[in-house]
Amino acid sequence: MWNIDLTYRKEMQSTFERLYEKQAVLNQSRPLPNIALQKIKETLSVEWTYNSNSIEGNTLSLRETQMVIQEGITVKGKSLREHFEAKNHDKAVDYLYEIVSQDYVLRSIDILSLHGLVLRTIEDDFAGRIRNAGVRITGANFVPPNANKVSDLLDELIAFVNENPLGLNDIELATIFHHKLVWIHPFFDGNGRTVRLAMNLLLMRKGFPPAIILKNDRKKYYDALNQANKGNYQKLTLLMSQSLERTLNIYVTSLPDNDYNFQEISNIVEEPNFPYGQEYVSLLARQGKIDAYKEGRNWLTTKDAIENYMTNRKRKR
Ligand SMILES: Nc1ncnc2c1ncn2[C@@H]1O[C@H](COP(=O)(O)OP(=O)(O)OP(=O)(O)O)[C@@H](O)[C@H]1O
Ligand SMILES: [Mg+2]
């Protein structure tokens, strides 16, 4: 199971450093001030539920998801199941916030509990239970392991996470845990949603906000998983880092006295005498070379981030 190629590491180094710098900024500001941050947490929880369910095929929009969760409203034309999926996932997020703390150690019972919450009343026969027969993943380049192996593989994975024999950082650990869990595919259904919850236990215990994989990135995400099935974690690590950086940026920019100034790339490059073009800066953003994150279809970054990158590049040459 441990086919892990770590050659991507060098490429990702500066991104990891940035993520840890922002984590430190957040941790130094704890306890985080004021109502604004409470609001961010709530907004992100709804986004998390919307995106994770939507990747899986739920057709509620972000706004509808919010109404179902926060106002208990029933949306005309949407199935009962879709309503339950939204409410269930939201409860699972609450549960996760309840159990996560600085000294949290991953346990299989927590993975089962999260799965139980995700599928409650929808598939009660399977909720919180590992599968007892074979499964296939549409579009995947492999077939998940035989059902009689699942329990041992799961234990092995949890030991791997807790012992961390390769000395992986938190982002790498969450990424590899994510991939190995969906590779094992312990459940008949709900594997994706469950692991997108559980991996955040590993990040949030260290003071990171949740990494939310966006519905817009679904294709990229599945493609990255297929690469990871071959032992290549580069794409998945980048996607995970970018997902995490987005929520980190949302938090750090909301802190009083922060000096980040994120803007759409098109705004930055439009400034007279700005030496770089839209295409080039967008490429750097997509590749994770500069501090940037995507909101909807647009990449946001800061002038400082572009200038820092250029200065470092010149120094290296
Ligand atoms: N090619 C792949 N290799 C490994 N894992 C994959 C691949 N394609 C998808 N997956 C994982 O399997 C999940 C789908 O499994 P399953 O249907 O049990 O979960 P779900 O929660 O019902 O749906 P989803 O995960 O799509 O939200 C995907 O979200 C993804 O995490
Ligand atoms: Mg499914």
Q: Which of 196, 218, 247 is at the close of a domain?
A: 247
Q: Do the Cβ atoms of 156 and 1 come closer than 8 Å?
A: yes
Q: Is 183 in the pocket of ligand 1 (CB under 6 A)?
A: yes
Q: How many domains does the chain have?
A: 2
Could you tell me the distance, in angstroms and rounded to a whole number, from the CA of residue 247 to the centre of ligand 2? 25
Do 142 and 272 reside in the same domain of the chain? no
Residue whose CA is at the smallest distance from ligand 1 atom 13: 192
**Pure H helices in 29-164:** 34-55, 62-71, 80-99, 108-119, 147-163
Do 199 and 310 reside in the same domain of the chain? no
Q: Residue 226 domain-assigned?
A: yes
Do 129 and 219 reside in the same domain of the chain? yes
Q: Is 126 in the pocket of ligand 1 (CB under 6 A)?
A: no
Q: Residue 180 domain-assigned?
A: yes
Do 49 and 124 reside in the same domain of the chain? yes
Which pLDDT belongs to residue 87?
98
* Ligand 2 is an ion; residues with CB less than 5 A from it: 189
Q: Which ligand is nearest to the CA of 189?
A: 1
Q: Is 209 in the pocket of ligand 1 (CB under 6 A)?
A: no
Q: Which of 189, 223, 247 is at the close of a domain?
A: 247
Q: Residue 3 domain-assigned?
A: no
Residue whose CA is at the smallest distance from ligand 1 atom 23: 56
Cα 313 from Cα 317, distance rounded (Å):
6
Q: Residue 4 domain-assigned?
A: no
Q: Name the nearest CA neighbour of 87 among 105, 103, 72, 76.
A: 72
> Which amino acid is residue 103, in one-letter code?
D
Which pLDDT belongs to residue 119?
98
* Domain range enclosing 150: 9-247
Q: What is the pLDDT of residues 214-268, one digit of tens each?
A: 999 999 999 999 999 999 999 999 999 999 999 999 999 998 888 899 999 999 9
Whether 34 has a pLDDT exceeding 80, the answer reads no
CATH (domain of 84):
1.10.3290.10
Do 296 and 223 reside in the same domain of the chain? no
Q: In testing the pocket of ligand 1, which one of 120, 123, 222 has its CB within 8 Å of the most ligand atoms?
A: 222
Ligand 1 atom nearest the C-alpha of 222 is: 8
Q: Residue 1 domain-assigned?
A: no
Q: What is the mean pLDDT of residues 24-40?
A: 84
Could you tell me the distance, in angstroms and rounded to a whole number, from the CA of residue 139 to the centre of ligand 1? 10
Q: Which of 222, 247, 272 is at the close of a domain?
A: 247
Do 83 and 218 reside in the same domain of the chain? yes
Q: Is 85 in the pocket of ligand 1 (CB under 6 A)?
A: no
Do 202 and 300 reside in the same domain of the chain? no
Q: What is the pLDDT of residues 157-174, one digit of tens each?
A: 999 999 999 999 999 999
Do 54 and 104 reside in the same domain of the chain? yes
Mean pLDDT rounded to a whole number for the chain: 95
Q: Residue 252 domain-assigned?
A: no
Q: Is 281 in the pocket of ligand 1 (CB under 6 A)?
A: no
Q: What is the pLDDT of residues 41-67, one digit of tens each?
A: 999 999 999 999 999 999 999 999 999
> Is 185 known to be catalytic?
yes
Q: Is 114 in the pocket of ligand 1 (CB under 6 A)?
A: no
Do 218 and 308 reside in the same domain of the chain? no
Do 188 and 307 reside in the same domain of the chain? no
Q: Residue 133 domain-assigned?
A: yes
Do 275 and 211 reside in the same domain of the chain? no
Q: Which ligand is nearest to the CA of 190?
A: 1
Q: Residue 179 domain-assigned?
A: yes
Ligand 1 atom nearest the C-alpha of 140 is: 1
Do 189 and 287 reside in the same domain of the chain? no
